[in-house]
Structure 1
Amino acid sequence: MSTPQDLQDPLALDRQVSYALVVAARSVTALYRPILDPLGLTHPQYLVLLALWASGPRSVKDLSHELQLDSATLSPLLKRLEAMGHVWRVRRATDERVLEIGLTDQGRELREKAVAIPQRIRDRLSMTEEQLEGLKTVLSQVIDNAKGLPETI
């Protein structure tokens, strides 16, 4: 809990944007666990499926860029989703250096089971769609602004 002195201290934990973002991300991700568990999915696997449901097969490199995950993080997710029967991975015929990823029939069918997840999360957060859209807009601005800055000052 913040004290009046904390409100003036620029190093007070409660005043740190990074702290609020980390705690919020962890808290929201935890809300997904009981919803995704019956589907046999983790939150990162769900994000991969969301991307594939939205725009179909693509290179792993493109998927990595969209999800902002490095290959060391994404590769095990894809292997697990493939083992579960939700995605396929194949080398591109015209360039075997490129690994393509796409949904199997089972992966496409899983979308129907997942369609209610966003509303269930909104309900658990007790926030309106408009509030969450506003939050996403602000977070997108934070992401864009942070990406445009050098890593050192």
Structure 2
Amino acid sequence: MKIDMTVNGRNVSGEVEGRTLLVEFLREGLGLTGTHVGCDTSQCGACVVHVDGAAVKACSIFAAECDGAQVATIEGQGNADGSLGAIQQAFQDYHGLQCGFCTPGMVMSAAALLKDNPKPSEAEVRDYLQGNLCRCTGYHNIVKAILAASGQEVAPVARVEA
């Protein structure tokens, strides 16, 4: 079947089978490989994208369900000049990533949270991220990064001096 959608502000079309997942269409059909496939069971959150403004795990929705939708992926989160967006920059500044596998889903979840709740508390950030798994960071710096991206005061990350 033919589908049309807007992805990161660009109109795209493609032929998909009814069983094609959105994450497959984005990665294989459009070459947008920033959306990661971690578990294929919607448990890890590495594949979070926005569909019509809502955070969605792209491994849990068919591409055909997004026909006509506005889809945003991690590739669309940067600034127009190619620099990092505010949330991405905060993840870098506050060391909110290590291996980086979960980072696209974390950034997309953070963007959805901050759209709905511009000044969340630490507890609200931690609660919102329950659908995103990270095996490297322990979440502490991810939470700091999201709080910093919201414009709140955050204690700096300790730096080791040589």
Please, what TM-score do these two structures have when normalized by structure 1? 0.30
Please, what TM-score do these two structures have when normalized by structure 2? 0.29
- Structure with greater contact order relative to length (CA < 8 Å, sep ≥ 6): 2
Q: Which has the higher helix share?
A: 1
